[in-house]
Structure 1
């Protein structure tokens, strides 16, 4: 496994001393438990405000200013809504291009509305990710009602149950991504260093409200949760960040599976990095950093749209 991959995600050997198992009562889960990997202290509550500062100045005091990619500011909440919807649709297209829309109508991405903050936008049920447009997105209330102002189209009931509980439990979360990855089904004992969790009590398709609550509880304060035998879910303060984390988590799971298989065949073990180095890297991936990491993919989607998607929305202000 590459050193870059181990810096982003670290393999965690699951033993009783490294896990906290909390049983939960549920009408839909017979022997459910929520598990968190706790190599060190439990991650602190996520900050409500955005964390910035992904770039460090290089080149010395005489270096000329250069363009940097930043999370923009907005002239109005309406402009921010348009921005979120554009990037929401682009994230869905990127997920579709990468094969995450290949299990029927499963998979959903939600983005909190900046004006009606107890409402969210979600992809319409049964529609291709690869052709999503901002006007296709559905506006949904906290109670699951499809509202005018968005696409009056049905939504995946399981998507509402899972995502509404996540948004309710995590006011800091703007976006959540959940699709069904084969690697994450196969491998359920690793994740973002000191910043992931595992939900072991998969109770079937999430049509009961308490299943969503249990998933939100399992997510806790982390960036992602692996749903055993199901898939995984990631969250962030931007849909760009949540999409990047979803793909990064999936790719690192695949890399870990390959590394473990190779080591097993050779009778060796994977190389682990020190806690300090892993913790430093984890903290580097702040809200702005994960947003930046997705912008090349966003550009790919915009260019592939042949003019259908703009790079910017009206009222978007570059951040210095």
Structure 2
């Protein structure tokens, strides 16, 4: 057992005075709201950078810190690369836009609203129609612990087979998805695609989505090789998940992405 002391993760430096990302603190709801909105925009831009767009499909959400029954999301039919603070919309569990000028993606509202309502502890959620995630979802099987990256999802994701392939456009359609997110950070919705959720931050939800997409790609490449991979034993997979699969690590992984976007895409804050 590694002794962490006051640290959250082994990756936090023990040596003082070194440059290292620090978790934010807030003095007001307004400050925290602005932070969440900016990171939601950055998550959308990160999805664009990673080629996770598909027409108007794809929706990312984060709760409002002061009014947790409402959540911020990207506007309908606006490319991830064009999402900015000024065009985000605030939506309630009934799909009504409370703040903002754009419509809400109905499928996004159905899926996300149900999850947010079922799990008050879930702060953020991501879904997109991606190449590898959607292809892997058609297999209806979990990610195997065949790489260290994949171990981050060991016993921390589920397969949702109910209503597989059906478009979520009716209010009850997200109920099975919502129930599936009890105690896990990711789900593979059969014949549909990937979903991730975070009880920590939109940054964690976004990074784990990007990571899960990569794991699906790796799994499909290994399957295509025709060779049987060596699985990481369960005890080692759990050990790896503990150290590289936490909410904090997801947040930390997103920080270099944030810094890159901060430098290259200042229009995020328009």
Higher RCO by CA contacts (8 Å cutoff, separation 6 or greater): 1
CA distance in 1, matches of 2:220, 2:57: 24
Please name the residue that 1:227 is paired with: 189
Counting only pairs closer than 5 Å after superposition, residues 119-268 of structure 1 correspond to structure 2 as: 119-148=70-99, 151-188=100-137, 189-191=141-143, 192-201=153-162, 202-236=164-198, 237-262=200-225, 264=226, 268=227
- Residue 168 of structure 1 deviates from its aligned partner by 1.2
- Residue 190 of structure 1 deviates from its aligned partner by 2.1
Q: Please list every run of 5 or more consecutive structure 2 residues that lacks an aligned counterpart in the other structure.
A: 1-6, 144-152
CA distance in 1, matches of 2:89, 2:67: 13
Q: Please list every run of 5 or more consecutive structure 1 residues that lacks an aligned counterpart in the other structure.
A: 1-51, 311-320
Give the secondary-structure state (helix, strand or coil) at the position aligned to 1:139. Answer: strand
Please name the residue that 1:294 is paired with: 254
Structure of higher CA gyration radius: 1
Whether the 8 Å CA contact 1:190–1:253 is kept in 2: the answer is no
Whether the 8 Å CA contact 2:55–2:79 is kept in 1: the answer is no
RMSD over equivalenced CA pairs, Å: 1.7
Q: State which of 78, 81, 84 in structure 1 corresponds to 2:36.
A: 84
Please name the residue that 1:17 is paired with: none
Q: Which has the higher helix share?
A: 2
> Alpha-carbon deviations, 1:82-110, whole Å to 9, x = none?
00000000110110122212x22111000
When the two structures are superposed, what TM-score results if normalisation uses the length of structure 2?
0.86
